[in-house]
Amino acid sequence: MRGAYAIGIDVGGTRIAAGLVERKGRIVRESKILTPKTAGPFGIVDAIVGMVEEITAGVHAAEIAGVGIGLPAQVDFTRQSVEYSTNLPLGGVDVRGLVMSRLKYPVTIDNDGHTAALGESRFGVAKGVKDFVMVTLGTGVGGGVFIGGRIMRGSRGFGGEVGHIVIDVDGPPCPCGGRGHLESYAARPAIIRDARRAAATYQGSSITRLAGGDEDAITAEVVIDGANSGDEAAVEIMGHVGDMLGEALVGIVNILNPQAIVVGGGIGESCPLVSERAAARVAAEALAGRRDVKVLMAELGNDAGVAGAAALAFEDHDSREGLH
Ligand SMILES: [Zn+2]
């Protein structure tokens, strides 16, 4: 069938995943590689092109609706350009043009928070939910805002950066250059910072024990595992992450009155305490009439980025063909 598949690519700071995706969201072929960080922007483009060729082998070009790419970057959706990227050397690089010049398919790029939100909206926990906000907690904090069943992009496409809501004007620095943003409290580096501080403060801290006695081995995953099994210090650290997320959500819920909040990303999906504590804050502090908002954990895991990027390609294809 014409346009039966789309290719979804999720470019991360650590890993790139590509999938051949059916219209209902099933990933029928997949390829994953480590992100070639030292090869510059062309190394990343080469990797993307190679993965697309691999997963489309034997598939007729007419069956491919297009390629969607989610990037860990500030993407000007209107111009389809990358403005800025903290984790990868993609700022100012015409990723779309470079990929498209080497493949026979149309290419659409977006910010990875948007593609993850699209994935959960079309195929995951937010299916059928018209108004929701996605927050992804991982190496950074990203997100996407859905209003009336459509992603809110703002005037140029940069909308939905929930990770950079100010929690405390005097708070710790944020990688974006700001201070006290949600990302300064709820991303992987913040968890490691808080855990090392706890380990240094309390002699014989359980965090150090959880890390096998080695302070340098403290990772966010060690803290999350500890919290999930009830370790007191780890519960305090991850509970604080949930509280800070909750504070940001109170403002979001007051402004947008969504039906649901979807908490995803590697951290959001592996630590139920985070969304529980955030939900409690929202229930206690949001303005009257808005407190019935559901705080849900994302369910597509790592597939959200690939499936969502494919959904982006399908949408683009269908609007070009006048299908909706
Ligand atoms: Zn920030």
Q: 268-324: per-residue pLDDT in tens?
A: 999 999 999 999 999 999 998 888 899 999 999 889 999 999 999 999 999 988 876
Q: Which residues surround ligand 1, an ion (CB under 5 A)?
A: 164, 174, 176, 178, 181
Distance (angstroms) between ligand 1 centre and the Cα of 173 equals 8
Over the stretch 247-270, which tens digit does the pLDDT of each residue have?
A: 999 999 999 999 999 999 989 999
Question: What letter does residue 292 receive in the DSSP assignment?
Answer: T
Distance (angstroms) between ligand 1 centre and the Cα of 264 equals 18
Closest CA to 294 of 96, 95, 134: 134
Within 8 A by CB and 6+ apart from 42, the residues are 98
Distance (angstroms) between ligand 1 centre and the Cα of 21 equals 33
Instruction: Give the mean model confidence (pLDDT) for residues 205-233.
Output: 91
Structure tokens at 308: 């969502």
Give the span between the Cα atoms of 185 and 192, in whole angstroms: 10
Distance (angstroms) between ligand 1 centre and the Cα of 180 equals 8
Instruction: Give the mean model confidence (pLDDT) for residues 24-35.
Output: 96
Beta strands in the chain (DSSP E): 5-11, 15-22, 27-34, 64-71, 74-76, 81-84, 107-111, 132-137, 141-147, 150-151, 260-264, 294-297
pLDDT at 14: 83
pLDDT at 157: 87
Contact by Cβ (8 Å): 297, 275 = yes
Please name the amino acid found at residue 218: I
CA distances from 190 to 14, 171, 194 (A): 18, 12, 6
Percentage of the chain beyond pLDDT 70 is 99
pLDDT, greater one: 97 or 38: 97
Structure tokens at 307: 């499936």
pLDDT at 201: 84
Domains of the chain: 5-119+302-320 (3.30.420.40), 129-297 (3.30.420.40)
Mean pLDDT of the chain: 93
Taking CA 152 as the corner, what is the angle to CA 104 and CA 29, rounded to the nearest 5 degrees? 35
Above 70 in pLDDT, residue 219? yes
Distance (angstroms) between ligand 1 centre and the Cα of 147 equals 23
pLDDT at 291: 81
Above 70 in pLDDT, residue 43? yes
pLDDT at 69: 98
Structure tokens at 85: 């990227």
At residue 151, what are phi and psi to the nearest 5 degrees? -70, 135
Over the stretch 196-208, which tens digit does the pLDDT of each residue have?
A: 998 888 777 888 8
Alpha helices in 101-231 (DSSP H): 112-123, 183-186, 188-201, 206-210, 220-228
Characterize the bridge pairing of strands 150-151 and 141-147: antiparallel
Within 8 A by CB and 6+ apart from 146, the residues are 117, 121, 126, 129, 130, 131, 132, 133, 134, 152, 258
pLDDT at 37: 85
Give the span between the Cα atoms of 182 and 240, in whole angstroms: 11
Distance (angstroms) between ligand 1 centre and the Cα of 144 equals 15
pLDDT at 324: 61
Distance (angstroms) between ligand 1 centre and the Cα of 167 equals 10
Distance (angstroms) between ligand 1 centre and the Cα of 135 equals 14
Give the span between the Cα atoms of 18 and 190, in whole angstroms: 29
Distance (angstroms) between ligand 1 centre and the Cα of 184 equals 7
Structure tokens at 176: 């974006």
pLDDT at 39: 87
Distance (angstroms) between ligand 1 centre and the Cα of 4 equals 39
Structure tokens at 89: 């050397």
Say whether 67 sits in a helix, a strand or coil: strand
Say whether 143 sits in a helix, a strand or coil: strand
Above 70 in pLDDT, residue 168? yes
Distance (angstroms) between ligand 1 centre and the Cα of 33 equals 28
Which stretch of 61-65, 87-91, 95-99, 133-137 has the lowest confidence by average pLDDT?
A: 87-91
Structure tokens at 263: 């908490």
- Dihedral sign from CA coordinates of 45, 46, 47, 49: positive
Distance (angstroms) between ligand 1 centre and the Cα of 212 equals 32
pLDDT at 294: 94
- Dihedral sign from CA coordinates of 141, 258, 269, 224: positive
